Amino acid sequence: MKHVLIIGALATLVACDSTGPTAISSPNDRPEFATTSVWVPLDPAPFPNDCPPAEDVVFSGKAHLVTQTQGNKVRLSLNWGGVKGTGAVTGDRYVIADNYHERDVFTATGGTAESFERLRMIRQGSTDNLVGLAHVIFDFDTGTFVLFEITMKCVG
């Protein structure tokens, strides 16, 4: 009995739509969408950590970069999970916990790139960690940055 009710309901829905399915007239009517996923090797490079005891941290490893493109818009996401560091003074091990997202919109004359980032440089043990926040918009038309927030602080 249930199968008959489901088939009857589907037949009613199909009968209500007298126009039938709409065919795409050309491939240009479809929204363009592409995703890429790559691991980007990071050359060992020092990064300053001002949290006591202050030291440079040499990071190395691979970051995971994902881009999504649709029409004139691009979204970037970056995951630093494959990157590790070592303190130059203490020898402490570090990891990066980072949320980075960027939205780009391109126009005939330029466009904008808006990025949001929350970076945490986490040191082993009980000493403070470095936390940074950034919200920035770059205008390709004028070549200017609008800084909504950039902060770096030590958090225990």
Q: How many CB atoms lie within 10 A of CB 116?
A: 15
- pLDDT over 70 percentage in the chain: 79
Asked if residue 142 belongs to a domain, the reply is yes
Q: How many domains does the chain have?
A: 1
Asked if residue 116 belongs to a domain, the reply is yes
Asked if residue 112 belongs to a domain, the reply is yes
Q: Which domain holds residue 142?
A: 33-155
Asked if residue 74 belongs to a domain, the reply is yes
- CB–CB of 114/103 below 8 Å? yes
Residue 104 pLDDT > 80: yes
pTM: 0.62
Asked if residue 49 belongs to a domain, the reply is yes
Using left for φ > 0, alpha for ψ between -120 and 50, and beta otherwise, residue 143 falls in left
The pLDDT tens digits for 59-71 are 899 988 888 888 8
Asked if residue 149 belongs to a domain, the reply is yes
Q: What is the dihedral of CA 44, 50, 53, 56, to 10 degrees?
A: 20
